[in-house]
Structure 1
Amino acid sequence: MHLWASFRESNKDIRLLWASVFARMCGFGLTNQVLVLYLELIGVEESKIGLFMTLTLWGDTFISYLLTWYAEAIGRRRVMVMGTIMMMGSGLVFASCSNYVLLVLAAILGVISPSGDETGPFKSVEEASIAHLTPHNHRPEIFAIYGLFGTAGAAMGSITAGFVVDHLSKSLAWSLESCYRWVFIIYAGISVLKLVFMLALSEKCEISDDDEDEEEDEITDESSSLLPSETPATSQKGSLGLSLQTQHYLPRLLIIFMLDSFGYGLFPSAWVVYYFKKVFKVTASGLGLLFFCTNAIDAISSLPSAFFAKLLGPVKAILFTQAPSAVLFMMITFTSEFWVAALLYFANCATSTMDVVPRQILLTSIVQKNELTKVMGVVNIGKTFARSIGPLFTGKLAEHPGALKYGFVMNASCVLLADLILATNFLQKDSLIKKQQSKHQQIQ
């Protein structure tokens, strides 16, 4: 089985990056379960909660821009260490403070995910490092395992938060505010573990002069075939310091990914937690168990996504999984029974993560290695900025009983439109990317 072969051949740095994403997403899964409820408990209005999420994501956009655009000059490992220390600091502030302004500043300067998903500079730098360390024929499997560890970590964090809050509040009679604060203390503790992983990474994660020379050879042999025939050679640099190949595709990728992220920002998982809590009166343990199950199925579904990416090509694989996922999410709007809503959300999660690996393959196949960190940083910054707009609308919807459910429809509509644009611009690239993956190379 190629998945097992890729796992067995992975080197120490790849495995440390797998451990890193597990720890980080475990922390994000923890805080996702309590963030909105904690802010409401300390007296923050729903509209201000939406503003909090937007400001946090804007801060993440700015921090991510600085750290990812200059990551090669600073050093990828240094960037990941800096981000981890920021993550630790934000957890400690949330555990000890109730002031709205200070919490916003901590979330902006530190790393608190308002959506339970990736935030900050980690994802861009880690994915660029993994692509740098992995040949094309192993990338679908290596990225699938990376996704598996990430969603497994989120699942572990979700169920841990639910049971920690219920145990402390019911068995030990702690106040809910104290329970939520302890969740953020655990979050800070997880960041210490992540810091150990980052400090253990080797120099192989960094781009060297030899890597750039090798990249030039690859461009001549392969990458130019991914461009339209009228486009000049990919090794030439444009006005932004990026190759002409990258500048050709980057605007199209930004439109697609930003539209998708705008839809996601309208109804992220933190608001799903809030919606289920308010509409269906679900307990903290019940919500924790639900999100453990959805994140667990997310983790499992990342493995067959590598198979679909190789069988269909990355673009077809995205369309094959993302469109049904959007329809399932939209259907939650029209149910009044918790078990039906939970089943639909579970089915949505079973397919939504299966587009992650194909997206990673598409990006890393049409972008040069020495530009991956910058490009992934720009893409993730664009996604974060687009996502930041949504909570402003969601916060307003939450102030009107019965209106919040329409966020599901708005989310799904944006995703389906993004899929249409993706198919129009990139569907023809599948055959060329599959040809790249057919060349067998070993992981160094």
Structure 2
Amino acid sequence: MPRRMTHGAGGSRLTALLLPEGVHPGALILLTARGLRGMCDGFIAVLLPGYLLALGFGQLAVGLISTTTLFGSAFATILVGVAGNRFASRVQLRFAAALMMATGFAFAGLSSLWPLLIVAFVGTLNPSSGDVSLFLPLEHASLAESATGDARTTLFARYSLVGALSAALGALAAGVPDWLAAHHAASPLTAMRLMFIVYAMSGSIIWLLYRHMPARQSSGDAPRIPLGPSRGIVTRLALLFSVDAFAGGLLVNSLLTLWLIQRFGLSLGAAGRFFFWAGLLSAGSQLVAAPLSRRIGLLNTMVYTHIPSSICLIAAAFSSSLVLTLALLLVRSALSQMDVPTRSAYVMSVVTPGERPAAASFTAVPRSLAAALAPTLSGALLGLGWLGAPLVACGALKIAYDLSLLFLFRRIKPDR
């Protein structure tokens, strides 16, 4: 069982604010690192299409970079699932942070498509609003070891809340290159390159944070083993999650930014402000997810909040008004992310403790692979002028996923 934390003065008040009662204090390092990564992901997802267009590439290149990045993340999570139990979690997390540093410096210095594709595959760049990188299965497994039952669900909700809030602030920072270009005589391309340097330096800070990770989150942890008794459940979940991920890959933040630019002529700064408010709404929904799941269940929370958000997305595809479109997308943001902490907690709750790292990796890999297939298709559709197609396809597939999830797993109860 995780050790119960004690609350003192000063810094322990921050710990008490961020961590629910009964959670190992070491989880605070994971939440802090998630916040730094979320800020970087927030501004990179918005800046990436503008950066690639400034380098002289087209819409298809934006999709290719996003696809390659997600394929690389899938390959990395496969390695975590196959060989991750041979290395300590904090060693793997420090490796991921070092890779984040290298990714930022490489994107800041390269201008040709093929080298950028290679770095996108081996690096940690994230073109989406969610966390799809190598960090995901590593941090999820460590979080699951830090709490049990309802405290675990609450911890995953805090983790998602921190990620959503930090991504919102990061999206607001996407306007910094425009400000630098206007006030310091820097070219827009140079200003955007500086943001990739910020990304790299954040990776170095995260590396230092992970140096202070405890060797194990709890003295009572079960030994890490491959999937065994829970293989059937995890396989079905992974297949369904892959449908959801493919749908989401059709509209990662980079492609949604590109769609808003093409459809309504939105600037990067305006797009950043939109994603800031969208991120705040997503963050607020994370606060609701845990108490709502205690009231109606993890699975019902995942499904009943997801379907209305998909309907709003489909409606936005047919709207000709910028104000109405942004309003529909904001409503979608307020609902679409409640399934993130509940989904993670649900997976960790229906497997044995020793299977949790393998289950986190096994469910993350199909998601990454499926999501990786979609951005190139979406970029091609946008390039052909079929601007509403990615939004409609994303919403329809997500509704089909939600209904299938409810039908197949309504009788499987998580370990409370």
- Report the TM-score, using the length of structure 1 for normalisation: 0.86
Structure 1 residues 135 and 292, CA gap change in structure 2 (3 angstroms): same
Deviation of the 1:28 alpha carbon: 0.7
Of 176, 201, 209, which aligns to 2:188?
176
Identical-pair percentage: 24
Q: Please identify, of 59-68 and 143-152, the stretch whose mean Cα deviation from structure 2 is larger.
A: 59-68
Question: 1:23-62 alignment to 2 at 5 Å?
Answer: 23-62=36-75
Question: 1:4-403 alignment to 2 at 5 Å?
Answer: 7-162=20-175, 164-205=176-217, 211-212=221-222, 241-244=226-229, 246-401=230-385, 403=386
Structure 1 unmatched ranges of 5 or more: 216-236, 438-444
Which residue of structure 1 aligns with residue 398 of structure 2? 415
Query: Contact between 1:32 and 1:270, CA under 8 Å: does it hold in 2?
Result: yes
Q: Please identify, of 5-14 and 327-336, the stretch whose mean Cα deviation from structure 2 is larger.
A: 5-14
How large is the RMSD of aligned CA atoms in angstroms? 1.9
CA distance in 2, matches of 1:306, 1:63: 30
Deviation of the 1:296 alpha carbon: 1.1
CA distance in 2, matches of 1:272, 1:375: 30
Query: Contact between 2:160 and 2:283, CA under 8 Å: does it hold in 1?
Result: yes
Deviation of the 1:9 alpha carbon: 4.5
CA distance in 1, matches of 2:215, 2:203: 22
CA distance in 1, matches of 2:234, 2:23: 30
CA distance in 1, matches of 2:315, 2:209: 41
Deviation of the 1:427 alpha carbon: 1.0
Query: Contact between 2:42 and 2:169, CA under 8 Å: does it hold in 1?
Result: yes
Runs of 4 or more, structure 1, over 4 Å off, are: 3-6
Deviation of the 1:8 alpha carbon: 5.0
Structure holding more helix per residue: 1
Residue by residue, what CA displacement relative to the aligned partner does 1:73-124 show, whole Å, maximum 9, x if unpaired?
Answer: 1111111110110011010011111011111111111111122431222111
Structure 1 residues 4 and 52, CA gap change in structure 2 (3 angstroms): closer
SS at match of 2:384: coil
Residue by residue, what CA displacement relative to the aligned partner does 1:107-161 show, whole Å, maximum 9, x if unpaired?
Answer: 1111111224312221111111111110113112111111111111101111012
Query: Contact between 1:128 and 1:369, CA under 8 Å: does it hold in 2?
Result: no
CA distance in 2, matches of 1:92, 1:64: 23
Structure 2 unmatched ranges of 5 or more: 1-15
- Report the TM-score, using the length of structure 2 for normalisation: 0.92
Structure 1 residues 319 and 147, CA gap change in structure 2 (3 angstroms): same
Alignment size in residue pairs: 401
CA distance in 1, matches of 2:33, 2:325: 32
Deviation of the 1:5 alpha carbon: 9.7
Residue by residue, what CA displacement relative to the aligned partner does 1:319-378 show, whole Å, maximum 9, x if unpaired?
Answer: 111001111111111111111111111110000111112111210111122211111111
Which residue of structure 2 aligns with residue 227 of structure 1? none
